[in-house]
Amino acid sequence: MGAAGVISLTAVLLWTLASAQQYKEAVDLTMQNHDQIMASAQVVFVAFCADWCPFSRRLKPVFEESAVTFHRENPTASVIWAIVDSQRQADVGEKYFVNKYPTMKVFVNGELNQKEYRSTRSVEALTNFVKYQLSTAINEFSSEHQLEAALDRTKRNIIATMRKDGPDYANLKKVASLLREDCTFWVPTDELGAQNSEKKLEYLDPDSAEKQLYSGKLDDYEFLKQWVTDKCIPLVREVTFENVEELTEEGMPFLIYFRDPNDRSGDKAFADVVARELYDQRSSINPLLADGFKFAHPLKHLGKTKEDLPVLAIDSFQHMYLFSDMTQMNTPGKLREFVMDLHSGKLHREFHENMDQRMIDLAKAKAARGITDDHGAQAPAARPEETTPPPSVFKELKPSDKRYSILQKTEL
């Protein structure tokens, strides 16, 4: 090898060493290095910070220390820790719709995981979170009998029959990494997989206990991801105090079915009517189940109590609208009409057109049940001069417009 070749090889080695070294500490993420960073590691953990935010200034040294600690303990891990200065690199924040600081997002195999990091901001917690992202999201089974014993049928399960090599399994691993908290994934051990020549993917429904077969191509990543997402993330979800912040950030009005937590017999009926009536509205309305005891405050705004459960309502993040007759929830077309009337503005118009009688009826209903307003006074007996539909309650549970660290939440 000539001198030029030696110099060239040395330069490549030095560049590789320098590139590897720069990712041992938190790096600045910009639009200029964005694509390179995202393609350079299995996991990219990003903190969006702003110098004017005291909570960002507090997080930054902890995040930087976490990066150093993590790589010292896991020197070969394919992880990059990155920081976005949201004042100097506003375009990166805009790309991911970040307007609250600090915000921490994780990317797995170049794809954004929709669930942000919202837990403890300590070196131990941050490094453990990244280790979890690297851990396998797929469980193995050595026999059908062992699989049956290990399955938790109350959860959503994706069961694959395939060898753990090739593009099909690589696609499944990527999907599992993104949806590991929504579904449990299973594949046979190498020994068992070698005995099966047929490849297949099945979803085990926790409600019906039936298996649904994936009919697409396993090497079609986008189709596979969409199919698994549809199965793992149900059309109707449960809203809790723990997940309400994330649900509000999806930006869609809530269609909420409040029910007695001890009587969930109507849950499936609600899910069925949503699937039948709102199959094309997944991007415009968020159907949710809610514990009517825990979420008593929204019911109170609607003039309802736990005695009235179940109750169906829409919270548009501006106002709340009541589905007036629960006996018609399963009547074909009624639920869809309710949602379409929200989108067209008809609910708001009708509320004002019928305000006088509504306010009198509501006041009478509250008085009959001894319900008072938030200050302890009896509800008004007639229409006040300035009236609007009951104000949204769930908008008060949205994150602060400036940061996640000092959320002001109305106690429900």
In order, the DSSP letters of 217-286 are -TT-HHHHHHHHHHHHS-SSEE--TTTHHHHHHT-PPEEEEEE-TT--TTHHHHHHHHHHH-TT-TTT-E
Task: Supply φ then ψ for residue 198, to 5 degrees.
Answer: -85, 135
Can 138-232 and 237-397 be said to share one CATH topology?
A: yes
Task: Supply φ then ψ for residue 243, to 5 degrees.
Answer: -110, 0
pLDDT attached to residue 85: 93
Side-chain-side CA neighbours of residue 289 (13 Å):
19
**pLDDT tens by residue, 203-242:** 999 878 899 999 999 999 999 999 999 899 888 999 998 8
pLDDT attached to residue 19: 46
Task: Supply φ then ψ for residue 312, to 5 degrees.
Answer: -115, 130
What mean pLDDT comes out for the span 39-48? 95
CATH top class, domain 20-134: alpha beta
Name the residue ranges covered by the structural domains of the chain: 20-134, 138-232, 237-397
CA 345 to chain centre: 28
Residues facing 80 on adjacent strands: 44
What mean pLDDT comes out for the span 341-349? 89
CATH topology of domain 237-397: Glutaredoxin (3.40.30)
Tokens standing for residue 334: 């009624």
- Residue 107 confidence (pLDDT) above 80: yes
Q: Establish whether the linkage from the previous residue to 102 is cis, with ω within 30° of 0.
A: yes
**pLDDT tens by residue, 356-382:** 666 677 777 777 776 655 555 454 444
What's the CATH code, domain 138-232?
Answer: 3.40.30.10
Identify which has the larger pLDDT, 352 or 296.
296
pLDDT attached to residue 20: 45
What angle do the packed helices 355-369 and 346-353 form, to 10 degrees?
80
Q: Are 121 and 62 in contact (CB under 8 A)?
A: yes
Q: Are 326 and 292 in contact (CB under 8 A)?
A: no
Close Cβ partners of 214 (under 8 Å, ≥ 6 residues apart): 200, 201, 202, 203, 224, 227
Lowest mean pLDDT segment, chosen from 105-114, 186-195, 377-386:
377-386
Distance CA 169, CA 172 (A): 5
Within 10 angstroms of residue 165's Cβ, the number of other Cβ atoms is 10
CA 352 to chain centre: 35
